[in-house]
Amino acid sequence: MKNKIRAIAPVIIALILIVVIIVAGVIVYFVAFATKPSPGPGPGQGFQISKIENYGDLVDYVTHIKYRWTLYEGGETSIGVITFDDLGDETVNGYLCRKFNLLIESNGDINEISGWVLKSDWTTLKKLIYDGTPVPEEYLSMYAGLIESVVFLPYVTFFGRNIDWTQVTSEIGTLTSIGSESRIYGETTLTVYKWRFIPNPIYEPLKDVSSIEVWQGQIGSYYLLTYFDETKKDGDYTRFELLEFTP
């Protein structure tokens, strides 16, 4: 049993590291983006944003996505590149599943995960292979939430609601549109809408933050995070960059 635990430990650590990096950006969701639907930089009043809740929603929307997280802190840089691929239907022990592949590159180390998700509920992992080694069934539930945190992340900031662009008050800071442009992400061209948030220096929860920049693209009824940068006053920063996207 100890050997089994030792074998799966590296990927757990890698996924937790990525999730920790992600958390640095969550403040944008609670501070700059309100909870009620309202007009955003997309199609205007009344537009309903679709919600990605499970792998079924995800694979209806995307077959391939690749993105990079960069964390610069105290003079040291950590980089994680995540690639997700939808590989279609397969049967596992008589259960119809959807296979996916997840490649995690972290500071020069590469881990590859192949997973099979039960199609009847789109959440249960029926099989998982990490770097060529099958993960024991008793550990599958341990992986499920962590993997979802990674593969659903580009949609988290915007899923389930539009953005209330009028909710940022002067006491919190200033949210400003900095334009839009067409950008190419692998095989897909997206129009991205750019916003910059400057915290009020006396707003205590963001007293260490210099600026936050967010870009979003839109395909159909989905918003997709394409760029995020939170820069602190000491020069440290957390950055997300979409690299490739294939519907």
* Per-residue pLDDT at 61: 81
Say how many domains are in the chain: 1
pLDDT 10s digits, 75-122: 999 888 889 999 999 999 999 999 999 988 887 788 898 999 999 999
What pLDDT shows up at residue 205?
80
Q: What is the sign, positive or negative, of the torsion defined by CA atoms of 96, 141, 4, 114?
A: positive
H helix or E strand, kind and range, residue 153: helix 153-156
User: Taking a C-beta distance cutoff of 8 angstroms, is the pair 48, 25 a contact?
Assistant: no
Domain membership of residue 235 as a residue range: 2-246
pTM recorded for the entire structure: 0.80
pLDDT tens for 16-63 read: 444 444 443 333 333 333 333 333 444 343 344 566 778 888 888 889
Does residue 235 have a pLDDT over 90? yes
- Cβ-contact 79, 68 below 8 angstroms: yes
Which pLDDT does position 174 carry in this prediction? Answer: 85
The answer to whether residues 211 and 31 touch, using CB atoms and an 8 Å cutoff, is no
Q: Are 131 and 112 contacting, i.e. CB atoms less than 8 angstroms apart?
A: yes
pLDDT band at 149 (very low <50, low <70, confident <90, very high): confident
> pLDDT category, 2, cuts 50, 70, 90?
very low
Token pair in block for residue 102? 């997840």
Question: What is the rounded distance in angstroms from the CA atom of residue 27 to the CA atom of residue 24?
Answer: 7
Helix 2-23 to helix 140-151 angle (10° resolution) is 30
Of 56, 60, 67, which is closest to residue 157 (Cα–Cα)? 67
Q: Kindly report, residue by residue over 201-227, the tens digit of the pLDDT.
A: 998 888 898 998 888 887 776 778 888
CA distances to 32, 45, 228 from 196, in Å: 10, 22, 10
